Amino acid sequence: MEELSFDDFARYFPFAPAALCVKECARLTQIRRYPCPGPILDVGCGDGLFARIAFADAEIWGIDVDAKEGGWALASRAYAQIILGDITRAKLPHGFFATCIANCSLEHVPDLGAALANIRDSLAPGGRAYLFVPNRDWASWFLSVRALGALGLEGPARSLQGAVDGVFKHRHLYDEAGWRARVEQAGLRVEQVDPVLSTATTVTFELLLLPSLLGLVNKKLTTRWTNFPRWRRRAARPAYELVRAALAADGETAPTAELLVVCSRPE
């Protein structure tokens, strides 16, 4: 199975930079392996595009601390309810959700324990949470970091790896055992921890970061990643073929980038 399909890419690319598309589409491939009955809580919902593609037929509630992102989420019409607030303190309906998805959002939350406890309480007994989180050393697979290491420049390599995590505001970085421990401390039962997203996706993400910076600048200025979705829709096929070529050129299929923690509220 390919890590990302053209159908997903063609739906994502008009609205997001290519670097982001690579990771989000790979996560879409992963989440489809699991049952996600509604109602669903989407933690750190952002603009709602992921949920709209992944959970088209379910009742979804979104929560995001960023009011601008919440506005886009509301406009996406993907959600039955949008909550603007902090997941550590927001008043969520108790025991209501059958599923929770946290798509690379929890690593940014200062009080991770409070966030996980709130998610636990919002789940119905037996309800599941799917937590996409970064693997502790994911950035060590950047070509630039590995190149420095190969030259014997271990100090600069570690500094660059740390700088990458600083840019992405990662407050929590753990290996499999570390994430398992943090989730279990919050009273959730960990069912499995799956390594996901290949080294090739990390390398491709890195290669696409520079051209994708234009999207970041545009988002700062206009609150949206792209301004011309119709034009980008026409460019989706060649962009996808370039991404596939980059993934194949690296060829590292080992899942080193992220972890998918599958956990549930005890019954």
Alpha-carbon separation of residue 120 from 37, 60, 149, 183, 184 (angstroms): 16, 17, 41, 10, 11
Total number of domains constituting the chain: 1
pLDDT (tens digit, 9 = 90+) per residue, 87-140?
A: 999 999 999 999 999 999 999 999 999 999 999 999 999 999 999 999 999 999
- In this model, does residue 223 exceed pLDDT 90? no
- The pTM for the full model equals 0.94
Residue 193 lies in a domain: yes
- In this model, does residue 10 exceed pLDDT 80? yes
CATH number of the domain enclosing 233: 3.40.50.150
CA distance 84 to 71: 9
1 confidence band (pLDDT: 50, 70, 90)? low
211 confidence band (pLDDT: 50, 70, 90)? confident
- What's the domain range around 210? 6-136+174-264
**Mean pLDDT along residues 196-220:** 89
- In this model, does residue 182 exceed pLDDT 80? yes
Residue 154 lies in a domain: no
Residue 152 lies in a domain: no
Mean pLDDT of the chain: 93
The secondary structure of residue 259, as a DSSP letter, is E
Report pLDDT for 219: 78
Report pLDDT for 208: 94
Report pLDDT for 226: 84
Residue 95 lies in a domain: yes
243 confidence band (pLDDT: 50, 70, 90)? very high
Residue 165 lies in a domain: no
Residue 12 lies in a domain: yes
CA distance 171 to 216: 21
- In this model, does residue 70 exceed pLDDT 80? no
pLDDT (tens digit, 9 = 90+) per residue, 138-177?
A: 999 999 999 999 999 999 999 999 999 999 999 999 999 9
Taking a C-beta distance cutoff of 8 angstroms, is the pair 203, 142 a contact?
A: yes
Report pLDDT for 75: 80
Residue 157 lies in a domain: no
Per the listing, tokens 């740390």 go with 162
**Cβ-Cβ contacts under 8 Å for 49 (sequence gap 6 or more):** 11, 12, 15, 16, 24, 76, 78
Residue 89 lies in a domain: yes
User: Which residues pair with residue 194 across a beta bridge?
Assistant: 260
